[in-house]
Structure 1
Amino acid sequence: MDGITTQTWGDGPPDIVMLHDGLGSITQWGDVPARIAADTGATVMAYDRPGHGRSEPVPDGPWPTEWLRHNAELLDELLAQHGAEQPMLVGHSDGGSIALLHAARSAAERPVSAVLSIAAHTFVEPICSGAIIDMRAKSDRLVTGLGRNHLHPTELFAAWSGVWVSDEFQSWDVRSELSAITAPTIVAQGTDDEYATDAMVYDTVAAIGDNATAHFIAGRGHLVHYEDPDPVVALAVDLWHRRDRAASTRPA
Protein backbone atom coordinates (compact mmCIF):
# COMPACT_ATOMS: atom_id res chain seq x y z
CA MET A 1 0.00 0.00 0.00
CA ASP A 2 1.27 3.44 -0.94
CA GLY A 3 2.74 5.36 1.96
CA ILE A 4 2.61 2.52 4.50
CA THR A 5 5.93 1.59 6.10
CA THR A 6 6.48 -2.05 7.11
CA GLN A 7 9.29 -4.07 8.65
CA THR A 8 9.60 -7.85 8.55
CA TRP A 9 11.52 -10.34 10.64
CA GLY A 10 11.88 -13.61 8.71
CA ASP A 11 11.19 -14.69 5.15
CA GLY A 12 8.01 -15.07 3.15
CA PRO A 13 4.49 -13.79 3.81
CA PRO A 14 3.86 -12.68 7.41
CA ASP A 15 2.52 -15.27 9.84
CA ILE A 16 2.21 -12.76 12.70
CA VAL A 17 1.26 -9.09 12.25
CA MET A 18 1.92 -6.48 14.94
CA LEU A 19 -0.38 -3.46 15.40
CA HIS A 20 1.01 -0.61 17.50
CA ASP A 21 -0.79 1.64 19.99
CA GLY A 22 -2.48 4.97 19.36
CA LEU A 23 0.75 6.98 19.47
CA GLY A 24 2.98 4.07 18.53
CA SER A 25 5.07 2.97 15.57
CA ILE A 26 7.27 0.11 14.39
CA THR A 27 10.28 1.39 16.31
CA GLN A 28 8.33 1.64 19.57
CA TRP A 29 7.83 -2.13 19.62
CA GLY A 30 11.53 -2.35 20.51
CA ASP A 31 12.85 -5.89 20.20
CA VAL A 32 9.46 -7.55 20.74
CA PRO A 33 8.86 -8.51 17.06
CA ALA A 34 12.37 -9.93 16.69
CA ARG A 35 12.01 -11.96 19.87
CA ILE A 36 8.63 -13.35 18.83
CA ALA A 37 10.05 -14.31 15.44
CA ALA A 38 13.04 -16.02 17.04
CA ASP A 39 10.94 -17.94 19.57
CA THR A 40 8.24 -19.08 17.13
CA GLY A 41 10.14 -19.46 13.86
CA ALA A 42 7.31 -17.43 12.29
CA THR A 43 7.67 -14.47 9.94
CA VAL A 44 6.63 -11.34 11.84
CA MET A 45 5.60 -8.05 10.24
CA ALA A 46 4.98 -4.71 11.95
CA TYR A 47 3.70 -1.61 10.21
CA ASP A 48 3.14 2.10 10.78
CA ARG A 49 -0.49 3.08 10.33
CA PRO A 50 -1.17 6.23 8.26
CA GLY A 51 0.19 9.29 10.04
CA HIS A 52 2.37 7.21 12.39
CA GLY A 53 6.11 6.65 12.28
CA ARG A 54 7.33 6.96 8.70
CA SER A 55 3.94 6.38 7.06
CA GLU A 56 1.88 8.93 5.18
CA PRO A 57 -0.38 10.82 4.78
CA VAL A 58 0.04 13.55 7.37
CA PRO A 59 -2.76 13.33 9.97
CA ASP A 60 -5.61 15.79 9.51
CA GLY A 61 -7.46 15.80 12.76
CA PRO A 62 -9.25 15.17 14.85
CA TRP A 63 -9.82 11.84 13.15
CA PRO A 64 -13.43 10.77 12.48
CA THR A 65 -15.16 8.63 15.08
CA GLU A 66 -14.89 5.54 12.85
CA TRP A 67 -11.14 5.81 12.33
CA LEU A 68 -10.49 2.50 14.10
CA ARG A 69 -12.95 0.69 11.84
CA HIS A 70 -11.35 2.36 8.81
CA ASN A 71 -7.95 1.08 9.94
CA ALA A 72 -9.39 -2.44 10.26
CA GLU A 73 -10.42 -2.19 6.60
CA LEU A 74 -6.96 -0.90 5.63
CA LEU A 75 -5.43 -3.88 7.44
CA ASP A 76 -7.36 -6.21 5.15
CA GLU A 77 -5.77 -4.51 2.13
CA LEU A 78 -2.32 -4.67 3.69
CA LEU A 79 -2.59 -8.38 4.49
CA ALA A 80 -3.73 -9.12 0.93
CA GLN A 81 -0.84 -7.11 -0.50
CA HIS A 82 1.69 -9.07 1.55
CA GLY A 83 0.12 -12.47 0.91
CA ALA A 84 -0.74 -13.07 4.57
CA GLU A 85 -3.13 -15.99 4.91
CA GLN A 86 -4.77 -16.53 8.29
CA PRO A 87 -2.15 -14.55 10.23
CA MET A 88 -2.06 -14.18 13.98
CA LEU A 89 -2.61 -10.56 15.06
CA VAL A 90 -0.85 -8.96 18.02
CA GLY A 91 -2.24 -5.53 18.80
CA HIS A 92 -1.60 -3.03 21.58
CA SER A 93 -4.16 -0.43 22.73
CA ASP A 94 -5.75 1.11 19.60
CA GLY A 95 -3.88 -1.57 17.63
CA GLY A 96 -5.61 -4.20 19.75
CA SER A 97 -8.98 -2.60 19.01
CA ILE A 98 -8.21 -2.71 15.29
CA ALA A 99 -7.11 -6.34 15.53
CA LEU A 100 -10.39 -7.30 17.22
CA LEU A 101 -12.46 -5.35 14.69
CA HIS A 102 -10.60 -6.95 11.81
CA ALA A 103 -10.98 -10.44 13.29
CA ALA A 104 -14.72 -9.86 13.65
CA ARG A 105 -15.38 -8.38 10.23
CA SER A 106 -13.18 -10.80 8.28
CA ALA A 107 -14.05 -14.03 10.13
CA ALA A 108 -15.90 -15.53 7.17
CA GLU A 109 -13.88 -14.31 4.17
CA ARG A 110 -10.32 -13.69 5.41
CA PRO A 111 -10.09 -15.30 8.88
CA VAL A 112 -7.19 -14.79 11.22
CA SER A 113 -5.70 -17.73 13.12
CA ALA A 114 -5.48 -16.03 16.55
CA VAL A 115 -5.57 -12.63 18.25
CA LEU A 116 -3.50 -11.28 21.13
CA SER A 117 -5.19 -8.07 22.24
CA ILE A 118 -3.14 -6.07 24.75
CA ALA A 119 -4.77 -3.12 26.56
CA ALA A 120 -7.34 -2.72 23.79
CA HIS A 121 -10.49 -0.61 24.00
CA THR A 122 -13.88 -1.87 22.85
CA PHE A 123 -15.87 0.98 24.40
CA VAL A 124 -15.00 4.33 25.97
CA GLU A 125 -14.48 4.49 29.73
CA PRO A 126 -14.29 7.84 31.56
CA ILE A 127 -10.88 6.85 32.96
CA CYS A 128 -9.51 6.75 29.41
CA SER A 129 -10.94 9.99 28.04
CA GLY A 130 -10.03 11.71 31.31
CA ALA A 131 -6.41 10.58 31.05
CA ILE A 132 -6.19 11.87 27.48
CA ILE A 133 -7.65 15.24 28.51
CA ASP A 134 -4.80 15.43 31.05
CA MET A 135 -2.29 14.52 28.31
CA ARG A 136 -3.56 17.34 26.10
CA ALA A 137 -2.93 19.82 28.92
CA LYS A 138 0.81 18.96 28.85
CA SER A 139 1.18 18.07 25.19
CA ASP A 140 4.33 20.10 24.43
CA ARG A 141 6.68 17.75 26.24
CA LEU A 142 4.84 14.68 24.97
CA VAL A 143 5.00 15.85 21.33
CA THR A 144 8.72 16.46 21.68
CA GLY A 145 9.17 12.84 22.74
CA LEU A 146 7.00 11.60 19.88
CA GLY A 147 9.34 13.36 17.48
CA ARG A 148 11.91 10.62 18.07
CA ASN A 149 9.67 8.06 16.35
CA HIS A 150 7.25 10.01 14.13
CA LEU A 151 7.66 12.31 11.15
CA HIS A 152 4.60 14.39 12.13
CA PRO A 153 4.31 14.26 15.93
CA THR A 154 2.28 17.45 16.41
CA GLU A 155 -0.31 16.49 13.81
CA LEU A 156 -0.47 12.89 15.06
CA PHE A 157 -1.13 13.88 18.66
CA ALA A 158 -3.78 16.42 17.66
CA ALA A 159 -5.60 13.92 15.42
CA TRP A 160 -5.46 11.04 17.89
CA SER A 161 -6.26 12.91 21.09
CA GLY A 162 -8.86 15.07 19.38
CA VAL A 163 -11.08 12.15 18.47
CA TRP A 164 -10.67 10.43 21.84
CA VAL A 165 -11.96 13.48 23.76
CA SER A 166 -14.65 14.48 21.27
CA ASP A 167 -18.27 14.34 22.41
CA GLU A 168 -19.19 12.16 19.44
CA PHE A 169 -16.70 9.45 20.36
CA GLN A 170 -17.85 8.98 23.96
CA SER A 171 -20.63 6.62 22.83
CA TRP A 172 -18.31 4.48 20.65
CA ASP A 173 -18.86 0.82 21.53
CA VAL A 174 -18.08 -2.24 19.37
CA ARG A 175 -18.82 -5.01 21.88
CA SER A 176 -21.92 -6.09 19.99
CA GLU A 177 -19.76 -6.97 16.95
CA LEU A 178 -17.19 -9.15 18.67
CA SER A 179 -19.22 -12.37 18.86
CA ALA A 180 -18.27 -12.87 15.19
CA ILE A 181 -14.68 -13.62 16.24
CA THR A 182 -13.99 -17.34 15.82
CA ALA A 183 -10.21 -17.36 16.33
CA PRO A 184 -8.65 -18.10 19.73
CA THR A 185 -8.22 -14.73 21.43
CA ILE A 186 -6.34 -13.54 24.50
CA VAL A 187 -7.57 -10.26 25.99
CA ALA A 188 -4.67 -9.02 28.12
CA GLN A 189 -4.20 -5.90 30.23
CA GLY A 190 -1.88 -4.67 32.95
CA THR A 191 -3.34 -4.61 36.44
CA ASP A 192 -2.19 -0.98 36.76
CA ASP A 193 -3.49 0.24 33.39
CA GLU A 194 -4.03 4.00 33.58
CA TYR A 195 -6.53 4.04 30.72
CA ALA A 196 -8.92 1.23 31.62
CA THR A 197 -10.61 -0.63 34.44
CA ASP A 198 -10.81 -4.41 34.75
CA ALA A 199 -14.29 -4.19 33.23
CA MET A 200 -12.69 -3.53 29.84
CA VAL A 201 -11.16 -7.01 29.88
CA TYR A 202 -14.13 -8.84 31.35
CA ASP A 203 -16.69 -7.14 29.09
CA THR A 204 -14.57 -7.72 25.98
CA VAL A 205 -14.12 -11.42 26.78
CA ALA A 206 -17.85 -11.78 27.45
CA ALA A 207 -18.64 -10.08 24.14
CA ILE A 208 -16.39 -12.46 22.18
CA GLY A 209 -17.58 -15.58 23.97
CA ASP A 210 -15.99 -19.00 24.34
CA ASN A 211 -13.07 -18.25 22.01
CA ALA A 212 -11.64 -15.60 24.35
CA THR A 213 -9.70 -15.74 27.61
CA ALA A 214 -8.75 -12.94 29.99
CA HIS A 215 -5.19 -12.39 31.16
CA PHE A 216 -3.99 -9.74 33.61
CA ILE A 217 -0.30 -8.80 33.69
CA ALA A 218 0.57 -8.09 37.32
CA GLY A 219 2.10 -4.75 38.23
CA ARG A 220 2.14 -3.34 34.70
CA GLY A 221 0.44 -0.28 33.28
CA HIS A 222 -0.95 0.52 29.86
CA LEU A 223 2.38 0.51 28.05
CA VAL A 224 3.12 -3.09 28.99
CA HIS A 225 5.82 -3.84 26.43
CA TYR A 226 7.60 -0.55 27.21
CA GLU A 227 7.75 -1.48 30.89
CA ASP A 228 8.47 -5.19 30.47
CA PRO A 229 8.45 -6.92 27.07
CA ASP A 230 8.82 -10.42 28.58
CA PRO A 231 5.13 -11.12 29.32
CA VAL A 232 4.09 -9.82 25.89
CA VAL A 233 6.58 -12.08 24.13
CA ALA A 234 5.55 -15.03 26.31
CA LEU A 235 1.83 -14.52 25.60
CA ALA A 236 2.43 -14.23 21.86
CA VAL A 237 4.63 -17.33 21.73
CA ASP A 238 2.17 -19.36 23.81
CA LEU A 239 -0.76 -18.31 21.61
CA TRP A 240 1.21 -19.12 18.46
CA HIS A 241 1.90 -22.66 19.62
CA ARG A 242 -1.67 -23.07 20.86
CA ARG A 243 -3.13 -22.16 17.46
CA ASP A 244 -0.50 -24.37 15.81
CA ARG A 245 -1.61 -27.35 17.92
CA ALA A 246 -5.27 -26.62 17.24
CA ALA A 247 -4.63 -26.55 13.49
CA SER A 248 -2.79 -29.88 13.59
CA THR A 249 -5.72 -31.63 15.33
CA ARG A 250 -8.47 -30.07 13.18
CA PRO A 251 -10.19 -32.59 10.89
CA ALA A 252 -9.18 -32.33 7.24
Structure 2
Amino acid sequence: MSKLHSHEHWINTAQGKLFAQEWLPPQAQGAPIVLLHDSLGCVALWRDFPAQLAQATGHRVIAYDRLGFGRSDAHPGLLRLGFVENEARQGFTVLRDYFGLGDFIVFGHSVGGGMAVACAAAFANLCVGLITESAQAFVEARTLEGIRAADLQFAEPGQLQRLQRYHGSKAEWVLRAWVDNWLAEDFADWNLDAMLAQVRCPLLSLHGDNDEFGSPAHPERLLALAGGPGRVRLLQDCGHVPHREQAEQVLAEVVQFLQ
Protein backbone atom coordinates (compact mmCIF):
# COMPACT_ATOMS: atom_id res chain seq x y z
CA MET A 1 0.00 0.00 0.00
CA SER A 2 1.21 3.50 -0.82
CA LYS A 3 1.78 5.80 2.13
CA LEU A 4 -0.89 8.11 3.51
CA HIS A 5 0.13 11.49 4.89
CA SER A 6 -1.65 12.73 8.02
CA HIS A 7 -1.55 16.32 9.26
CA GLU A 8 -2.95 17.98 12.38
CA HIS A 9 -4.45 21.46 12.29
CA TRP A 10 -5.58 24.05 14.84
CA ILE A 11 -8.27 26.39 13.55
CA ASN A 12 -9.09 29.70 15.24
CA THR A 13 -12.75 30.61 15.72
CA ALA A 14 -14.44 33.45 17.61
CA GLN A 15 -15.25 31.02 20.43
CA GLY A 16 -11.99 29.05 20.61
CA LYS A 17 -9.66 26.74 18.72
CA LEU A 18 -10.90 23.69 16.80
CA PHE A 19 -8.72 20.63 16.28
CA ALA A 20 -8.77 18.98 12.85
CA GLN A 21 -6.83 16.19 11.18
CA GLU A 22 -6.51 15.28 7.51
CA TRP A 23 -5.43 12.10 5.74
CA LEU A 24 -3.98 12.50 2.23
CA PRO A 25 -3.55 9.62 -0.21
CA PRO A 26 -0.52 10.04 -2.56
CA GLN A 27 -2.67 11.05 -5.54
CA ALA A 28 -5.85 12.32 -3.92
CA GLN A 29 -8.83 12.32 -6.28
CA GLY A 30 -12.34 13.73 -6.22
CA ALA A 31 -13.93 15.90 -3.54
CA PRO A 32 -12.61 15.69 0.01
CA ILE A 33 -14.68 13.75 2.56
CA VAL A 34 -15.43 15.60 5.80
CA LEU A 35 -16.28 13.45 8.85
CA LEU A 36 -18.72 14.64 11.54
CA HIS A 37 -18.54 12.75 14.84
CA ASP A 38 -21.33 11.53 17.14
CA SER A 39 -22.61 13.01 20.44
CA LEU A 40 -19.79 11.63 22.61
CA GLY A 41 -17.22 11.40 19.82
CA CYS A 42 -14.14 13.19 18.55
CA VAL A 43 -11.40 12.71 15.95
CA ALA A 44 -9.55 10.17 18.12
CA LEU A 45 -12.68 8.03 18.51
CA TRP A 46 -12.90 7.50 14.74
CA ARG A 47 -9.70 5.48 15.43
CA ASP A 48 -8.21 4.15 12.19
CA PHE A 49 -11.37 4.57 10.10
CA PRO A 50 -10.38 7.92 8.49
CA ALA A 51 -7.08 6.42 7.28
CA GLN A 52 -8.91 3.33 5.99
CA LEU A 53 -11.43 5.56 4.22
CA ALA A 54 -8.72 7.63 2.53
CA GLN A 55 -6.88 4.48 1.48
CA ALA A 56 -9.98 2.70 0.15
CA THR A 57 -11.46 5.67 -1.75
CA GLY A 58 -8.38 7.65 -2.79
CA HIS A 59 -10.12 10.78 -1.46
CA ARG A 60 -8.65 13.25 1.02
CA VAL A 61 -10.38 12.81 4.39
CA ILE A 62 -10.79 15.56 7.01
CA ALA A 63 -12.19 15.11 10.54
CA TYR A 64 -12.58 17.72 13.26
CA ASP A 65 -13.54 17.98 16.91
CA ARG A 66 -16.55 20.23 17.39
CA LEU A 67 -16.15 23.03 19.93
CA GLY A 68 -16.33 21.44 23.39
CA PHE A 69 -15.17 18.00 22.22
CA GLY A 70 -11.89 16.10 22.00
CA ARG A 71 -8.86 18.34 21.57
CA SER A 72 -10.86 21.44 20.63
CA ASP A 73 -11.34 24.20 23.20
CA ALA A 74 -14.10 24.09 25.80
CA HIS A 75 -17.49 25.40 24.70
CA PRO A 76 -18.26 28.73 26.44
CA GLY A 77 -21.91 27.87 27.07
CA LEU A 78 -24.48 25.12 26.67
CA LEU A 79 -25.79 23.50 23.50
CA ARG A 80 -29.35 24.62 22.78
CA LEU A 81 -32.21 23.56 20.51
CA GLY A 82 -30.99 24.03 16.93
CA PHE A 83 -27.42 22.86 17.65
CA VAL A 84 -27.68 20.09 15.03
CA GLU A 85 -28.71 22.44 12.23
CA ASN A 86 -26.41 25.26 13.39
CA GLU A 87 -23.18 23.25 13.05
CA ALA A 88 -23.33 23.77 9.27
CA ARG A 89 -22.98 27.55 9.75
CA GLN A 90 -20.60 27.34 12.70
CA GLY A 91 -17.71 24.86 13.00
CA PHE A 92 -18.22 23.37 9.53
CA THR A 93 -18.15 26.78 7.83
CA VAL A 94 -14.93 27.74 9.66
CA LEU A 95 -13.41 24.40 8.60
CA ARG A 96 -14.45 24.93 4.95
CA ASP A 97 -12.88 28.39 4.92
CA TYR A 98 -9.68 27.21 6.62
CA PHE A 99 -9.11 24.37 4.12
CA GLY A 100 -10.44 26.38 1.16
CA LEU A 101 -12.90 23.64 0.26
CA GLY A 102 -14.97 23.86 -2.90
CA ASP A 103 -16.97 20.73 -3.69
CA PHE A 104 -17.10 18.32 -0.76
CA ILE A 105 -18.61 15.04 0.46
CA VAL A 106 -19.92 14.92 4.01
CA PHE A 107 -20.06 11.77 6.17
CA GLY A 108 -21.72 11.93 9.58
CA HIS A 109 -22.17 9.35 12.34
CA SER A 110 -25.22 9.46 14.66
CA VAL A 111 -25.98 13.13 15.50
CA GLY A 112 -23.13 13.93 13.12
CA GLY A 113 -25.35 12.40 10.43
CA GLY A 114 -27.98 15.02 11.19
CA MET A 115 -25.29 17.68 11.02
CA ALA A 116 -24.13 16.22 7.69
CA VAL A 117 -27.68 16.64 6.35
CA ALA A 118 -27.59 20.27 7.53
CA CYS A 119 -24.25 20.82 5.75
CA ALA A 120 -25.57 19.25 2.52
CA ALA A 121 -28.64 21.51 2.75
CA ALA A 122 -26.76 24.72 3.61
CA PHE A 123 -24.21 24.22 0.80
CA ALA A 124 -26.42 22.40 -1.70
CA ASN A 125 -24.45 23.80 -4.67
CA LEU A 126 -21.13 22.47 -3.29
CA CYS A 127 -22.03 19.20 -1.54
CA VAL A 128 -21.62 16.40 -4.10
CA GLY A 129 -22.35 13.48 -1.77
CA LEU A 130 -24.02 12.87 1.62
CA ILE A 131 -23.29 9.75 3.69
CA THR A 132 -25.12 9.15 6.96
CA GLU A 133 -24.32 6.35 9.39
CA SER A 134 -26.70 5.52 12.26
CA ALA A 135 -28.23 8.99 11.86
CA GLN A 136 -31.36 10.10 13.72
CA ALA A 137 -33.91 11.89 11.53
CA PHE A 138 -36.38 12.59 14.36
CA VAL A 139 -36.81 11.89 18.09
CA GLU A 140 -37.84 8.27 18.54
CA ALA A 141 -38.74 6.45 21.78
CA ARG A 142 -35.90 3.98 21.12
CA THR A 143 -33.41 6.85 20.92
CA LEU A 144 -34.53 8.29 24.25
CA GLU A 145 -34.49 4.88 25.93
CA GLY A 146 -30.92 4.30 24.73
CA ILE A 147 -29.84 7.72 26.02
CA ARG A 148 -31.46 7.17 29.45
CA ALA A 149 -29.72 3.79 29.74
CA ALA A 150 -26.35 5.32 28.79
CA ASP A 151 -26.84 8.15 31.30
CA LEU A 152 -27.37 5.62 34.09
CA GLN A 153 -24.31 3.67 32.96
CA PHE A 154 -22.10 6.79 33.00
CA ALA A 155 -23.30 7.56 36.55
CA GLU A 156 -21.58 4.38 37.80
CA PRO A 157 -18.13 4.74 39.44
CA GLY A 158 -15.27 5.11 36.96
CA GLN A 159 -17.47 5.31 33.86
CA LEU A 160 -16.99 9.03 33.24
CA GLN A 161 -13.24 8.36 33.06
CA ARG A 162 -13.85 6.62 29.73
CA LEU A 163 -14.95 9.99 28.34
CA GLN A 164 -12.18 11.90 30.14
CA ARG A 165 -9.60 9.93 28.16
CA TYR A 166 -10.83 11.69 25.03
CA HIS A 167 -12.41 14.94 26.27
CA GLY A 168 -10.37 15.69 29.40
CA SER A 169 -12.02 18.12 31.79
CA LYS A 170 -14.80 18.67 29.22
CA ALA A 171 -16.18 15.12 29.70
CA GLU A 172 -19.07 16.08 31.99
CA TRP A 173 -20.09 18.90 29.60
CA VAL A 174 -20.00 16.44 26.65
CA LEU A 175 -22.24 13.96 28.46
CA ARG A 176 -24.76 16.60 29.58
CA ALA A 177 -24.79 18.20 26.10
CA TRP A 178 -25.99 14.84 24.75
CA VAL A 179 -28.36 13.64 27.46
CA ASP A 180 -29.96 16.92 28.52
CA ASN A 181 -30.65 18.20 25.00
CA TRP A 182 -32.21 15.00 23.69
CA LEU A 183 -34.34 14.49 26.80
CA ALA A 184 -35.50 18.13 26.93
CA GLU A 185 -39.19 18.79 26.35
CA ASP A 186 -38.52 21.39 23.65
CA PHE A 187 -36.50 18.82 21.69
CA ALA A 188 -39.36 16.29 21.44
CA ASP A 189 -40.61 17.63 18.07
CA TRP A 190 -37.15 18.00 16.52
CA ASN A 191 -36.63 16.46 13.07
CA LEU A 192 -34.59 16.91 9.89
CA ASP A 193 -37.58 17.15 7.53
CA ALA A 194 -37.10 20.78 6.44
CA MET A 195 -33.34 20.29 5.99
CA LEU A 196 -33.79 17.10 3.97
CA ALA A 197 -35.99 18.92 1.47
CA GLN A 198 -33.05 21.24 0.68
CA VAL A 199 -30.58 18.41 -0.03
CA ARG A 200 -29.77 18.05 -3.76
CA CYS A 201 -26.86 15.57 -3.85
CA PRO A 202 -26.92 11.74 -3.81
CA LEU A 203 -27.44 10.16 -0.38
CA LEU A 204 -26.13 6.90 1.08
CA SER A 205 -27.74 6.04 4.42
CA LEU A 206 -26.09 3.23 6.41
CA HIS A 207 -27.87 1.78 9.45
CA GLY A 208 -27.41 -1.27 11.66
CA ASP A 209 -30.46 -3.47 12.14
CA ASN A 210 -29.61 -3.71 15.88
CA ASP A 211 -28.96 0.00 16.42
CA GLU A 212 -29.97 0.71 20.03
CA PHE A 213 -30.37 4.43 19.30
CA GLY A 214 -32.69 4.26 16.30
CA SER A 215 -34.84 1.93 14.21
CA PRO A 216 -34.73 1.58 10.40
CA ALA A 217 -37.45 4.26 10.34
CA HIS A 218 -34.60 6.80 10.37
CA PRO A 219 -32.81 5.85 7.13
CA GLU A 220 -36.21 5.31 5.50
CA ARG A 221 -37.25 8.85 6.40
CA LEU A 222 -33.92 10.25 5.18
CA LEU A 223 -34.40 8.47 1.85
CA ALA A 224 -38.05 9.49 1.49
CA LEU A 225 -37.51 13.20 2.17
CA ALA A 226 -34.05 13.95 0.73
CA GLY A 227 -34.20 16.06 -2.40
CA GLY A 228 -31.60 14.02 -4.31
CA PRO A 229 -31.31 10.35 -5.32
CA GLY A 230 -30.51 7.96 -2.50
CA ARG A 231 -30.12 4.45 -1.23
CA VAL A 232 -30.40 2.78 2.18
CA ARG A 233 -28.15 -0.06 3.30
CA LEU A 234 -29.41 -1.90 6.38
CA LEU A 235 -26.43 -3.76 7.85
CA GLN A 236 -27.22 -7.14 9.37
CA ASP A 237 -26.28 -7.99 12.98
CA CYS A 238 -24.89 -4.49 13.41
CA GLY A 239 -25.34 -1.94 16.20
CA HIS A 240 -24.82 1.82 16.43
CA VAL A 241 -21.18 2.02 15.24
CA PRO A 242 -20.95 0.27 11.85
CA HIS A 243 -17.56 1.81 10.98
CA ARG A 244 -16.11 -0.05 13.98
CA GLU A 245 -18.32 -3.16 13.98
CA GLN A 246 -18.34 -3.79 10.21
CA ALA A 247 -15.62 -1.54 8.81
CA GLU A 248 -15.02 -3.58 5.64
CA GLN A 249 -18.71 -3.53 4.76
CA VAL A 250 -18.97 0.21 5.39
CA LEU A 251 -15.88 0.92 3.26
CA ALA A 252 -17.20 -1.28 0.44
CA GLU A 253 -20.56 0.56 0.49
CA VAL A 254 -18.86 3.97 0.44
CA VAL A 255 -16.50 3.01 -2.41
CA GLN A 256 -19.46 1.75 -4.46
CA PHE A 257 -21.44 4.92 -3.70
CA LEU A 258 -18.58 7.20 -4.75
CA GLN A 259 -18.19 5.42 -8.07
Q: How high is the TM-score relative to the length of structure 2?
A: 0.86
Deviation at 1:235, TM superposition (A): 2.2
1:16 and 1:89 in contact (8 A); partners too: yes
Identity value in percent:
28
Q: Given the alignment, which residue of 223, 229, 233 partners 2:241?
A: 223
Q: Which residue among 128, 147, 152 is the counterpart of 1:132?
A: 147
Alignment of 1:79-118 (within 5 A): 79-108=96-125, 111-118=126-133
Counting matched residue pairs gives: 238
Structure 1 segments unaligned to the other structure (5+ residues): 243-252
For residues 143 and 59 of structure 1, the distance between their equivalents in structure 2, rounded to whole angstroms, comes to 21
Code of the aligned partner of 2:174: L
The one-letter code of the counterpart of 1:236 is V
User: Which consecutive residues of structure 2, in runs of 5 or more, have no partner in the other structure?
Assistant: 1-10
SS of corresponding position for 1:100: helix
Q: Distance in 1 between matches of 2:93 and 2:237?
A: 34
Worse-superposed segment, 221-230 or 189-198 = 221-230
CA distance in 2, matches of 1:31, 1:234: 16
Which of 197, 200, 225 is the equivalent residue of 1:182? Answer: 200
Distance 1:143 1:157 in 2: 9
Displacement of 1:76 in angstroms is: 2.3
Q: Is the 8 A contact 1:88 1:113 kept in 2?
A: yes
| Equivalence for 2:83 | 67
**1:238 is aligned to 2:256:** yes
CA RMSD between the two structures: 1.9
Q: What's the counterpart of residue 134 of structure 2?
A: 119
What's 2:65 paired with? 48
SS of 1:24's partner is coil
Q: TM-score, normalised by structure 1?
A: 0.88
The AA in structure 1 aligned to 2:86 is H
Q: SS where residue 172 of structure 1 aligns?
A: coil
- Which segment is superposed worse, 226-235 or 37-46? 226-235
Q: Which amino acid aligns with 1:129?
A: L
What corresponds to 1:249 in structure 2? none
